[in-house]
Amino acid sequence: MDMSIDMQHQAMGYDRTATMFSPEGHLLQVEYAEKTVRLGVSSIGIVCSDGIFIIADKRIQEKLIVQKFANRIHEIDSHLIASVAGITSDARVLVEKAQVLAQQHRVTYGSSIEPELIIKDISNIKQYFTQYGGARPFGVSMMLAGINGKKPELYTSDVTGNYFPYYANAIGENDEKIKEKLREKYTPTLNLKKGVKLALDILHEIQGKKFSPNNFEMTYIKTDTVKLEKLECEEIQEFVK
């Protein structure tokens, strides 16, 4: 009986290292890491006319966990935030690296770092772990949102180390379904309130009966103040009214 392609790959060891291409031109460990990301928590980032925001599903329902330490959106600097999807412990290493990069830039140059410089360095680290042996790829996608001067910017870095700027994007569970809705409904004229409402409506539509406003956290940055504002649960509902 003929073996399936996947079984042949496993038998030949192509899925046991991140540095060996399969005969079809795939890095199987990288593709497995991408599947891990799609099992992670959902988050949406949108560039708005008056700022930028990320909203994320906290997902953790364990009552014994101190909730304020289970945040899905991380402050990188006073003008930068990031959300992650995938393996949380992997993400922590990258988030801490991003925070160090931001502070090193402030100490060295006396100014805030551009968002693209952060996401580029993080992407370089992730690419390194797809090219050299002895370690597995980072099972993480990172979405970085911030203000560059007076311009809101949104970037996403995937498992392979690629990164792109976006007007709106989603990572984690149901990311393709969310992005399909964003393509239909996003417009550059959305302000923060309308943008957050759009994100909540999309999440409600996709999650159905599992949707609850209490499961989300949000951080936004207005272009005029360049100040982080964090909201959770009922506060988000009040924000969009």
Per residue, what are the HEC states of 133-161? CCCCCCCEEEEEEEEECCEEEEEEECCCC
Q: Report which of 186, 152, 156 is spatially closest to residue 172, judged by C-alpha positions.
A: 156
| Residue 132 domain-assigned (yes or no) | yes
Per the structure block, which two tokens stand in for 31?
A: 């593709």
| Residue 13 domain-assigned (yes or no) | no
pTM of the full structure? 0.90
| Residue 86 domain-assigned (yes or no) | yes
CATH at residue 133: 3.60.20.10
pLDDT averaged per 10 residues, the chain (length 241): 56 66 79 89 96 90 74 94 94 97 96 97 93 85 96 96 97 95 96 96 92 90 94 88 81
Please name the residues in contact with 100: beta carbons below 8 A apart, sequence gap of 6 or more: none
CA 199 to chain centre: 15
The predicted pLDDT at position 10 comes to 55
HSE-up (13 A, CA, CB side) for residue 207: 19
| Residue 12 domain-assigned (yes or no) | no
| Dihedral angle of Cα 204, 210, 212, 216, to the nearest 10 degrees | -80
